[in-house]
Amino acid sequence: MKNDRAFHGLLTAVLLAATAMLFGTALQAQVPASHKTQNVIVVMMDGMRWQDVFRGADPELLKTLGPKWLGDPEEMAAEARKQYGQATPAERRKALMPFLWSVVATQGQIFGNRDLGSDSHVTNVFNFSYPGYSETLTGIADPRVDSNDNVPNPNPTVFTWLNAKPEFTGKVAAFGAWETFDGIFDSAHCGFVVNAGYAPLTAIPVTPKLALLNALKAETPRIWADEPFDMLPFHTAVEYMKAKKPRVLFIGLGETDDWAHAGSYAEYLISAHLGDSYLRKLWELVQSMPEYRDKTTLIVLPDHGRGEGSEWTTHGQKVPVSRETWMAFLGPDTAALGERKQGTVVTESQVAATVAALQGEDYRAAVPKAGMAIGDVLGR
């Protein structure tokens, strides 16, 4: 009987291993004994190109001039070349996003450098914002999500799914520059705080800093009717973090996409650099708070890519390469594999299940159509 048990045990192990290799489903979502993540923060930088992340500022695009209404185009381009026009791609990318390359690239993982054979992309066919955010946050590329209209998302996000669990209720929140995050998260029904666009934050007691942020949202001149400058949602999210200490937090930055559509490569680079500084400030805050220190995973990615050359300002179905994205992970369960290379393929549809798995939850068991969690960043 002992030999029979050994045989059946071996057979079971082989079958489980084969199942994991073939399907990568339930086994991938199991939590290893060393699992440390208790909080997840997702930061999305709208329309930030992988080319600029991995190669730094494009030398040819640095020569381009932005619209005159922003200021002296030649002076702005010259300043951008001075700040971000170093001699090599490695120097340029570190000048543009120093936190990403000095911390995340050494302590975490970054996907999407096609120059090294790493592929990150959206699976929806639209290559613009609402479908990209929805795919990322729900795990589903739903063809019904085919516009940027501020309407309720037909699919609940992983944030809503987590918030419905007792251990996460009241510990989920989303902040974004774009007012359409109200629809993406379905703020009327999701059950957690969604603060988007110019709306004041009233869900926590007012501090002097929050009062100023709310006043700036109301009084700052508006270049974009549906979106303030990134400093407002970012610092509002920080105030909420300090007050409520959410376990699952979303922050959506939008200026990279806005300045790109405006045709200003200089302002696009400034916004990318500022976004990187926000990542550093966020990570430093995380490490300064006992609720977050050494038990928080940071995920950073865009909602879509952009074109190349003269098409860098745009994206969408007519620009097929704008499906190409990138994503970065930093946290206690993510091995320090740095810049991923040949053979690594990830999709935006995998992020939702990855967020849940980092919290020890199996999202695909509830939403089978969602992409599977990215095992490489889960400590497996």
Same-domain pairing of 14 and 86: no
Residue closest to 262 by CA, chosen among 99, 132, 72, 70: 70
Same-domain pairing of 227 and 308: yes
Output the pLDDT for position 26: 38
Same-domain pairing of 102 and 5: no
Same-domain pairing of 191 and 60: yes
Same-domain pairing of 16 and 72: no
Output the pLDDT for position 32: 54
Same-domain pairing of 81 and 11: no
Output the pLDDT for position 9: 40
Same-domain pairing of 288 and 332: yes
Same-domain pairing of 23 and 44: no
The ranges of the chain with pLDDT < 50 are 1-31
Output the pLDDT for position 29: 41
Output the pLDDT for position 10: 37
Q: Domain holding 201: CATH number?
A: 3.40.720.10
Same-domain pairing of 289 and 367: yes
Same-domain pairing of 357 and 270: yes
Output the pLDDT for position 377: 96
Range of the domain at 125: 37-377
Same-domain pairing of 151 and 271: yes
Output the pLDDT for position 249: 98
Same-domain pairing of 96 and 60: yes
Residue 164: alpha-carbon gap to chain centroid: 22
Residue 306: alpha-carbon gap to chain centroid: 16
Count of structural domains, the chain: 2
